[in-house]
Amino acid sequence: MTPESHVAEITRELDVKLKDKYTKGQQEHGGYLWNKNTLPMMEEELIDQITYLHVHQKHIKTVIALLSNGINNGCWYDVQAAFNVLTQGHQNGT
């Protein structure tokens, strides 16, 4: 991968996601976003982002601890639990 191919990959993915999110937002908020006071919406989104960041940081710390234990002690359960945290948000699997 090169920096050019990396940014191309990011922009392709962002283009699709942005269009989908924009369309949903237009429907949710009644359209004409450019004519609305977006500050209250921004505030809500920022609060959500801070919450998501906190949860993600906690998940990363949990995964690091589980993988470290799994590697150091040969514990497959901890490796599986780490995988579950990354894919499902908790250690228990389904």
In the chain, domain spans: 1-36, 37-94
pLDDT tens across the length of the chain (94 residues): 899 999 999 999 999 999 999 999 899 889 998 999 989 989 999 999 999 999 999 999 999 999 999 989 999 999 999 999 999 999 987 6
- Both structure tokens of 4: 């050019």
pLDDT at 93: 73
- Both structure tokens of 18: 């942005």
The answer to whether 70 and 82 are in contact (CB under 8 A) is yes
pLDDT at 3: 96
Q: Which residues contact 81 (CB under 8 A, 6 or more apart)?
A: 66, 91, 92
Between 76-88 and 39-73, two packed helices, what is the crossing angle to 10 degrees? 170
Count Cβ atoms below 10 Å from residue 81 Cβ, excluding itself. Answer: 22
